[in-house]
Structure 1
């Protein structure tokens, strides 16, 4: 066999290895959504468990096709800002957006990015459980998952993005691009959505415990498993002699990501436990810790990553409590875990990795000012559309379910099934209960409608 033939076989197998790597990253990322499903169903009260689960299933089903038709083009068309460049190859009718035996990259990269988008929708989902209309949620989730986050990705998570070119922005684990954007989007929605009925009494927050805390804890552990697929999808598997690189073209490897992802997990859990002693916040600290070190996964000494993650984990419950005392009912602490820790992560790179050189002629080094400005851009990119679209939905009386439906439970009104049929009250008994607590001037029959 000739040398050229051997080289061709080698290159083909290299390309196949890329496909296999991102294929399994995408598959593992589905565990994130299985985790969110269990997490939110457990965090809901029994009367809302199935509606929370259906919302998660529909999040995936709605965002993935929307990302195919719109999101992938946005990522390729808007690296320079709000004026698109030519990205015809990313349009849904392009030859590259269909099965092609000669293209072993586009499909798997699209799949990984689509699952990133679905993750942003699931982050929003937990914050708004038990009172948002399903239709309103799906509108918001699709805008976030197939539009807002990937616009931020085009700016700050693209090798030609303006935030890299102008600010030297560094965010290899998408702490800002995914988590900060989704968390601040959720914050904007919560300001318009309002708190659950019964959450506040005389202005003081009341505890609304999960109906199944063990399910919630297991769900969060499943999310952590899925996060190894997410983190894997943040690294570039190159052919030839280049090897592994970050999304920005700087050299790295899976070992660096393994060290600091695991240290982020440990630090976040310990920090959250010492700060709260609460089981829910403790396991949430695992996710918060990984996000806290996410922007600099490729740069930190593991001991430093542990310390930074511990600080993020410790601060996270305090941020959640601060918002709760000010009337924001974030049912699962989504802003504290994702919004705050994502913002914090981006800024920390500017403190502890300032001066790190970026690839590309004229691209500035990592700096505190560049990272701080980048974090602010991510926060505003999420918050403004989250608040604006939910405000319009609120004014159209389309954001929140009616009060009597919320009291009765979304499952009984929206879902033709019961989560625990042997133990949950029947429709008849639930109707009787509703008739004793219905809003003044409302009949029991109207309450059920």
Structure 2
């Protein structure tokens, strides 16, 4: 009982840290975008976490963990609506798991669920209509994410391969699930006005880089819960190694991206430094518990290099991603997932093949479902605000207020 209590407390702390990450995402997004769209971005982020939790309670948790039968294909299952904790003599069944109770399990996993749509929020910032985005969030977080998650974490078909696909804390299951949707959304939505002129990308500076920096540091802190909690217990060896590899990958990703971007562009770009940190974090997430410290530094360093080239590639493809979500969450998510087959305890040809199968499976499923949802919304109700609304700002037109009101207008 004492061990269960210790494990459960650790898992609840990690749950709180993952919840705190949503503040980090919000700060990062508003910091890297323009002042006139701040309230709109904050509204989307609050909508994602509140609605995401309610949907995960109503059906998402049981879609993701359906308890596949032994002879099931492991593709789709559903354990019923609502939450129903296992009980023994009118008390919570504490044999549910040695690391946590049923309620802690739900809440920890629920915090992960909303992250996929948050990734999309940053990529489509400053020009998407709020209502279509809300509908997309409901469908993607409510159905697509838990079904995709069930294939591995719910012990579905990717978990039962001869060499099981491995994704410790979600480089693919969380980050690239959001990243693939972000890629499709940015493509269907189009670039912001003024982003590309005469075929060349133009910088549209964010209005508050200190806030973006705070957001990245909050996300790094939250990753202690994201990866540390994915040990699913307070196991001293597992949690401490995981936190070390997580931090080293983040540091390496940041430093290497700063060096590479400075060599390429001859300036010390803080935003590239920040995205390099996030790229290192996303990359190590798939294998944080099976990597050595040196492995983690290599994985994070490659993530940092990929960030610089991926941001450049996204621009060359005329895709407008204001916060670098595609480079961070998709490119580094794919890299980190494949790295499990190349570095660490599981490295082998068979494991690399399983990682490729997993990456390909999620690529096809997520791009297809995201396209169906967003294209349908585009053709039925439209997904882009008018030119006038975009130029004047979404805060005024979508919400009728400003995040930074000019109080001088009220002076007499």
Counterpart CA distance in 2 for 1:289 and 1:156 is: 23
* Structure 1: distance between partners of 2:184 and 2:67: 24
Distance in structure 1 (CA, Å) of the matches to 2:105 and 2:225? 13
1:346-389: per-residue Cα shift (whole Å, max 9, x none)?
111112248569xxxxxxx9522111111111222322211221
Q: Secondary structure at the match of 1:169?
A: coil
Q: Which residue of 1 aligns with 2:265?
A: none
Give 1:96 shift.
4.6
* Alpha-carbon distance, 1:234 to partner: 1.2
Which position in structure 2 is the counterpart of 1:398? 382
Q: Structure 2 residue aligned with 1:162, among 143, 157, 160?
A: 157
Match of 2:393 in 1: 409
Q: Distance in 2 between matches of 1:21 and 1:206?
A: 46
Match for residue 321 of structure 2 among 296, 307, 330: 330
Q: Is the 8 A contact 1:44 1:52 kept in 2?
A: no
State the 4+ residue runs in structure 1 displaced beyond 6 angstroms.
none
CA distances 1:274-300 after superposition (whole Å, capped 9, x unpaired):
121421111111111022122111222
Q: 2:202 aligns with which of 201, 206, 212?
A: 206
Partner of 2:256: 271
Matches within 5 A, 1:283-298: 283-298=274-289
1:25-424 to structure 2, matched below 5 A, reads 25-77=14-66, 84-85=76-77, 87-88=79-80, 91-92=81-82, 94=84, 96=86, 101-103=91-93, 105-158=101-154, 160-166=155-161, 167-237=163-233, 253-277=238-262, 278-353=269-344, 367-422=351-406
CA distance in 2, matches of 1:406, 1:86: 41
- Aligned equivalents of 1:41, 1:345: Cα separation in 2: 27
**Cα shift at 1:409:** 0.8
Deviates more, 1:187-196 or 1:100-109: 100-109
> Which 5+ residue runs of structure 1 have no aligned equivalent?
1-10, 245-251, 358-364, 428-449
1:37-62, Cα deviation, whole Å (9 max, x unpaired): 11111222111111111111111111
Shift of 1:129: 0.5
Aligned residue pair count? 392
Quote the offset at 1:338 in angstroms: 0.4
CA RMSD of aligned residues (A): 2.4
Structure 1 pair 67–122 and aligned structure 2 pair: CA distance change class (3 A): same
Mark the CA change 1:67 to 1:355 in structure 2 (over 3 Å): closer, same or farther.
Answer: closer
- Contact 2:8–2:233 under 8 Å retained in 1: no
Provide the C-alpha distance between the structure 2 equivalents of 1:344 and 1:93, rounded to a whole number of angstroms: 35
State the TM-score, normalized to the length of structure 1.
Answer: 0.82
Q: Is there any run of 5+ residues in structure 2 with no aligned partner, and where?
A: 95-100, 263-268
Q: Say if 1:193 and 1:399, in contact at 8 Å, map to a contact too.
A: yes
Contact 2:114 2:141 in 1 (8 A): yes
Cα distance in 2 for partners of 1:296, 1:71 equals 25
1:83 positional shift: 5.1
Alpha-carbon distance, 1:400 to partner? 1.4
Does structure 1 conserve the Cα–Cα contact (< 8 Å) formed by 2:172 and 2:333? yes
| Cα offset, 1:86, TM superposition | 6.1
Residue 81 and residue 408 in structure 1: after superposition, are their counterparts in 2 closer, same or farther (change >3 A)?
A: farther
Kept in 2: contact 1:127–1:331 (CA 8 A): yes
Looking at CA atoms only, which structure, 1 or 2, has the larger radius of gyration?
1
Counterparts of 2:17 and 2:83, CA distance in 1: 28
Q: Which has the higher contact order (CA 8 A, sep 6+)?
A: 2
**Contact 2:76/2:147 (CA < 8 Å) preserved in 1?**
no
